[in-house]
Amino acid sequence: MNLSSRSKSKADPNKVAQVKNWVYNRLPISPDTAVSINQLICREPGCPPIETVIAVMSRPPQQFRIYKSIADLNYSDLYNIFRPPSPELD
């Protein structure tokens, strides 16, 4: 049974392009690296009802999830998920 699927409501192509630009500006990837932005609806109990999945086809590939629709994303959402990890204290 498929418990998640692509959203039936299409995301605004201009907003998708804007989010892709944010990804390229925020991550150290080349302009030739493919980036995929998908909006998914989850029907599984306890799962957020909608999420945006950002896939970066770098080596190794990376995947990021934000529990908002593409329309509701802002730059700070990407800033937070792409923030480098805090250095560990020894």
pLDDT for res 11:
86
Whether the CB-CB separation of 59 and 30 falls below 8 Å is answered with: no
Of 27, 30, 52, the closest CA to residue 41 belongs to 52
What is the CATH number assigned to the segment(s) 4-81?
A: 3.10.450
Please name the amino acid found at residue 19. Answer: V
Of 72, 61, 87, 83, the closest CA to residue 9 belongs to 72
Say which residue the tokens 């493919």 belong to.
34
pLDDT at 88 exceeding the cut of 60: no
pTM: 0.79
Digit-coded pLDDT (tens) for 25-80: 999 999 999 999 999 998 888 888 999 999 999 999 999 999 999 999 999 999 88
